[in-house]
Each structure stands twice: as C-alpha cells, then as structure tokens.
C-alpha cells in the first residue's frame, strides 16, 4: 500500500481530542499547540496517508486489565474485514487512526501525559 496516498478523514472525536490538548497545555502551551498542529498538517497526516502501515498495530499490543480486554473484544467485533486500527507516536503525542479501504480515519490524538483513548463513540 506504500506510495498510494489514501484520503484523510478527520473525525469529530479527533477534533475534540485536539481541542482537549489545547486545554491541557493551557495558555503557557500555546506555542506547543501551534507546533503540534503544524506538525500534524505538514508531516504526520501526509506520512500516514502515504504509508498507513507506518504506525504499529493497536490491537497487537498486550492488554492487561479485564476491562481493556472487554473493550478490545467489542472493538474487534465492530471492525470490517481488512480494517486496521493503528497508533503512530511522534514527539509527545500518540495518534490513533483507522485504515479502511482508500481512507485513513483520524480517530484521536493524545499528549503522552493525558489519560487513555475513549472509543465508545465509534463502537458503542
């Protein structure tokens, strides 16, 4: 799939988590937030769309808690054949995205000091 540029789709949740990072960083982090947005638009999104396998498989990571195992089972049941949920680490951030067909759905982005992803909006 490398070389064929996939179409980016930004979910509502992605926008909300980006806004949560802005709030998390506060007024003192305004420049850091601007750098994040620039890095996403100029580098990360184009890279992921061109090389969607650049991130590691989200579902291949070990899961320790019973609650997390249950959430992963629900997530797997919600995926279509050939869907890939992947995570891409850059700078202080973790990006979660779904590769489906010719599109990359940007699901969430978190600062490494924030809490975990909430996927309940995507797969109730």
Total structural domains within the chain: 1
Task: Give the pLDDT confidence score for residue 114 in this predicted structure.
Answer: 75
Check whether 117 has a pLDDT greater than 70: no
Give dist(CA 73, CA 10) in Å, integer. Answer: 24
**Predicted local distance difference test score (pLDDT) of residue 67:** 86
pTM attached to this predicted model: 0.84
Q: What is the CATH number of the domain that holds 47?
A: 3.30.2310.20
> Within a domain: residue 119?
no
Give domain status of residue 24, yes or no.
yes
Look at residues 4, 5, 94, 101 and name the one whose alpha carbon lies nearest to residue 58: 94
What is the maximum span of the chain, computed from C-alpha positions, in angstroms? 44
Residue reference for tokens 């973790």: 94
Instruction: Give the domain range for residue 87.
Output: 7-61+70-110
Determine, yes or no, domain membership for 92. Answer: yes
pLDDT at residue 109 greater than cutoff 90? yes
* Residue pLDDT, tens place only, 28-84: 989 999 999 999 999 999 999 999 999 999 999 888 888 888 888 888 888 999 999
Residue 115's pLDDT is 61
Find, among 58, 66, 51, 60, the residue nearest to 119 by Cα. Answer: 58
């Amino acid at each position: 799939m490398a070389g064929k540029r996939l179409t980016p789709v930004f979910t509502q949740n992605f926008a909300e988590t980006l806004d949560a990072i802005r709030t998390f960083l506060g007024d003192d982090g305004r420049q850091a937030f601007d750098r994040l947005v620039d890095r996403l638009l100029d580098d990360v999104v184009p890279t992921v769309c061109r090389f969607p396998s650049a991130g590691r498989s989200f579902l291949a990571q070990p899961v320790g808690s019973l609650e997390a195992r249950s959430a992963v089972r629900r997530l797997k049941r919600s995926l279509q054949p050939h869907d890939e949920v992947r995570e891409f680490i850059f700078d202080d951030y973790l990006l979660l995205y779904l590769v489906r067909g010719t599109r990359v759905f940007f699901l969430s982005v978190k600062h490494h000091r924030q809490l975990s992803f909430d996927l309940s909006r995507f797969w109730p």
